[in-house]
Amino acid sequence: MNVKEIQDSIQEIGSLHAKIEETAKTLRTVEDKLTVRLAQTGIGARNGDIDDYISLYRKKVKFPDDRINELIEERSELNKVYEAAYSRRQDLLNQVSKWAGASMKRRIEEIEKATSQLVSKASKLIATFCTTEGEAKEFAEKLPVVCTLIRRRRALMSLGTSDPVFQARTVIHDIAQPI
């Protein structure tokens, strides 16, 4: 995955999250209406499992109520939409998480390599007491960037976050930074 695909995935995750919340809200409303209708037929109570009441309704009622059947069908469709959106969101989160983990690992390796090179260069500079102004200037220019990346890495790791969206955004931001 490239950065654009990850950004698109993160955006889709956000819209799927909103869809899941809206579907869940609608589903609760339909289930409340269905519970009331079932209670009117003498089946079920407010605090029971609605699936059990639907099953009982189908077994006991000889003349089905069209409105109850419509609500049962609507509930079934909403459950399918909810499950599909939830499943897609989880797939995207897993993809982003995998990509973020691999990118973070590569970036950490790059940071460690650059840090190692700078430490080596610093040792040389110290050993020669910064005899050339060009070496001292190059070292001084690169050190803050590497230190910043190391601080970001440590901050992210110290947060112990398992939020792949946060990790991906951090990685995308860090990838854009020069070493």
Cα–Cα distance between 160 and 72 in angstroms, integer? 43
Mean pLDDT comparison of 4-8, 19-23, 38-42, 91-95, highest-scoring range: 19-23
Stated pTM of the model: 0.55
Assess whether pLDDT exceeds 80 at residue 81: yes
pLDDT tens string 98-123: 777 777 677 777 777 776 776 666 65
**Predicted pLDDT of residue 179:** 46
6 touches 96 (CB < 8 A): yes
pLDDT > 90 in the chain, percent: 15
Task: Report residue 9 CA to chain centroid gap.
Answer: 9
* Token pair recorded at residue 72: 């049962």
Mean pLDDT in the chain? 75
> Which of residues 81 and 58 earns the better pLDDT score?
81
pLDDT tens string 28-69: 999 889 888 888 887 765 566 788 888 888 888 777 788 888
Map residue 17 onto helix, strand or coil.
helix
* Token pair recorded at residue 77: 């469709």
* Token pair recorded at residue 86: 């939830």
Cα–Cα distance between 5 and 11 in angstroms, integer? 10
pLDDT tens string 82-92: 999 999 988 88
**Predicted pLDDT of residue 54:** 84
Map residue 161 onto helix, strand or coil.
coil
